[in-house]
């Protein structure tokens, strides 16, 4: 199965640099048969339309970084799943640790958002992962088990749901989980979610992508910082290929 290589641009990018990044990625994918990976980018909401205009007709698909649990209504500042679909999104990231942390998003809210996303025809990328202190206390599996149980709605299928394991202590810190930590946690998650794709995220870069992508039960990666540079992101994607 091709690896899923997802770029989470987070709150980065104005029109010129977002278009430029998308153009470079589209150009980079042109000569690539891409049998080894599928590429997805998730720009900030304001940049989805301009990026979509660049990526249309390319092999790269795009998604949002969050959506509301209602399809429309009086929710100032929020974005509904049908709005993302209207911009050609195929995916939405839900329950990212930054939303759980800074917006106090609960797993129950993530599950409600996922239901709206399915109703709009989007696939969801549901993020789970333990804090540093939870791993130090040996609680990483119980934390992740609870997040999975509460964040994934009954409607979830391997076709519409991707799980991203992102240990919070590895996000934007330059610290990556070891291949053995990743292997163990992904095997644990596999036991819970069956055939759903499982991505790893947290300080993935060109230098460590090959080892991570070829670890058992790693079906792809969710990349933050390194997805903002076309060359680095393309190198990560290219690491999907076996040498
Ligand atoms: P970094 O790749 O910058 O560590 O971010 C990971 C992440 O949070 C992707 O969603």
201 forms beta bridges with 222
Query: Of all atoms in ligand 1, which is nearest to the CA of residue 164?
Result: 10
What does the pLDDT read at residue 198? 98
Q: Give the list of residues 6+ apart from residue 80 with CB closer than 8 angstroms, or none.
A: 67, 68, 70, 71, 72, 116, 120
- In contact, 64 and 113? CB cutoff 8 Å: no
Going by alpha carbons, the residue nearest to atom 5 of ligand 1 is 224
Query: What's the CA-to-centroid distance between 126 and ligand 1, angstroms?
Result: 14
**CA neighbor of 43 nearest in space, from 88, 4, 78, 13:** 13
Domain count, the chain: 1
Q: Which domain holds residue 203?
A: 3-27+36-69+77-238
Active site residues: 96, 166
Question: Cβ(172) to ligand 1 under 6 A?
Answer: yes
Within a domain: 186: yes
**Distance (Å, whole) CA 209 – CA 119:** 34
Within a domain: 8: yes
- In contact, 139 and 129? CB cutoff 8 Å: no
Per residue of the chain (243 residues), give pLDDT as tens: 899 999 999 999 999 999 999 999 999 998 766 689 999 999 999 999 999 999 999 999 999 999 999 999 999 999 999 999 999 999 999 999 999 999 999 999 999 999 999 999 999 999 999 999 999 999 999 999 999 999 999 999 999 999 999 999 999 888 888 999 999 999 999 999 999 999 999 999 999 999 999 999 999 999 999 999 999 999 999 999 876
Residue 33, H or E segment: none
Question: Cβ(7) to ligand 1 under 6 A?
Answer: no
**Distance (Å, whole) CA 229 – CA 60:** 15
Question: Cβ(8) to ligand 1 under 6 A?
Answer: yes
Looking up residue 22, the CATH number of its domain turns out to be: 3.20.20.70
What does the pLDDT read at residue 172? 85
What does the pLDDT read at residue 32? 66
Q: Give the list of residues 6+ apart from residue 70 with CB closer than 8 angstroms, or none.
A: 80, 116
How much is the CA Rg of the chain, to the nearest whole Å? 17
Within a domain: 243: no
Torsion sign, CA atoms 98, 99, 103, 107:
negative
What does the pLDDT read at residue 34? 63
* Structure-derived torsion over alpha carbons of residues 133, 138, 142, 143, reported in degrees to the nearest 10: 10
Within a domain: 198: yes
* Structure-derived torsion over alpha carbons of residues 105, 108, 110, 115, reported in degrees to the nearest 10: -150
pLDDT per residue over 140-162, tens digit each?
A: 999 999 999 999 999 999 999 99
Residue 62 CA from chain centroid, whole number: 11
Question: Cβ(201) to ligand 1 under 6 A?
Answer: yes
Within a domain: 44: yes
Q: What is the distance in angstroms between the CA of the first residue and the CA of the last residue of the chain?
A: 17
What does the pLDDT read at residue 173? 86
What does the pLDDT read at residue 188? 98
Query: What's the CA-to-centroid distance between 225 and ligand 1, angstroms?
Result: 6
Neighbours of 38 (CB within 10 A): 19
């Amino acid at each position: 199965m091709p690896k899923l290589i997802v770029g989470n641009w987070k709150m980065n990018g104005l029109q010129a640099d977002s278009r430029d990044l998308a153009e470079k990625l589209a150009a980079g994918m042109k000569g690539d048969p891409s049998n080894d990976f599928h590429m997805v980018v998730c720009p900030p909401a304001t940049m989805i339309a301009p990026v979509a205009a660049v990526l249309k007709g390319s092999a790269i698909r795009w998604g949002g970084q969050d959506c509301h649990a209602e399809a429309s209504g009086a929710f100032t500042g929020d974005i509904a799943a049908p709005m993302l679909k209207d911009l050609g999104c195929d995916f939405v990231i839900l329950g990212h640790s930054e939303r759980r942390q800074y917006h106090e998003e609960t797993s129950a809210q993530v599950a409600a958002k996922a239901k709206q996303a399915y109703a709009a025809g989007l696939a969801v990328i549901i993020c789970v992962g333990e804090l540093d202190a939870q791993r130090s206390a040996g609680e990483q599996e119980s934390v992740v088990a609870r997040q999975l149980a509460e964040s994934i709605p009954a409607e979830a299928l391997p076709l519409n749901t991707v799980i991203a394991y992102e240990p919070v202590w590895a996000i934007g810190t330059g610290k990556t989980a070891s291949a053995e930590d990743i292997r163990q946690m992904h095997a644990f998650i596999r036991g819970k979610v069956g055939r759903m794709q499982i991505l790893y995220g947290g300080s993935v870069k060109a230098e460590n992508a090959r080892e991570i992508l070829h670890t058992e039960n790693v079906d792809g990666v969710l990349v933050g910082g390194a997805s903002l540079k076309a060359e680095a992101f393309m190198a990560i994607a290219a690491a999907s290929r076996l040498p």
